[in-house]
Structure 1
Amino acid sequence: MRRTIATVGALAAGAAVLGGCAHTKATGFGNRNAPNEFVVTRNPPLVIPPDFALRPPRPGEPRPQEASPSQQALAAMFGGQAQVSPGQQGLVDQTGGAPEAGIRSEVGSPSTNVVDKGSATKDIIAAPAGNGDNSTATTPQ
């Protein structure tokens, strides 16, 4: 009899504990507001082509009106071609024109001459990664 009461009590306590896990939909197991991981790309809208003499697409070929995922990612990260105001274009013209197309890849090459910025910059770059909770600052007297 005691064993039955203890078992029923343990089951009731377990049900109460598990019932508290999904008390709110936002934090519990029943979270229905989570993002859908299967919706990653957008399909372009269906349109009627103006020329009905188009040849049918070949199986496995990419769609011509759709950008590749890498192009979509680059456009999302860096945006498209920015509009340049006349003032900005004048400034670029006065400084010698637009930079070369591959200038960013040349900067990291070993043959690029760099200026020594001093020991402070080297210390900043060599600092360990972290959120700065244990960092200190001192001023010379």
Structure 2
Amino acid sequence: MKYFYSGATNGAYIDSLNTSIPEDAVEISKELYCELFTTTIDGTVGPGADGLPVLIPSVGPTDEEIALRRRDRLLSVATARMAPLQDAVEIGEATADEDAELTAWKRYRMLLNRIQQQDGFPQNIDWPTVPNELQNPAE
């Protein structure tokens, strides 16, 4: 039994199973065939410079992308928490506690927007503390 790989189709073929094998197909070892085409791998298979198949590792999000996604989720929470407090301020009916809570959320949101300015960004981030109202919600 012989094993083949075609860069044109990015496919593997076995001579005893496939009646039609592309003209550009090159013979590969059974071990390489098994490694790339019969197991779950982290990546994709593609043609190498020599025409043989190679594993192209999966590329996940970068540390910066992960950090910015987290920041954006936290900003969304902060904005949602601030909206009713801001409404109370704007219509002149905010209590002193609501005004202080709004200020805390604004400071939190400002600090979130500054994480990229930290020296350790994106690997080491000193995430701002969430205002107490969210950490210990009343039951």
Q: Which has a greater percent of helix?
A: 2
Q: Under TM normalisation by the shorter chain, which class is it?
A: under 0.3
Q: Which has the greater radius of gyration?
A: 1
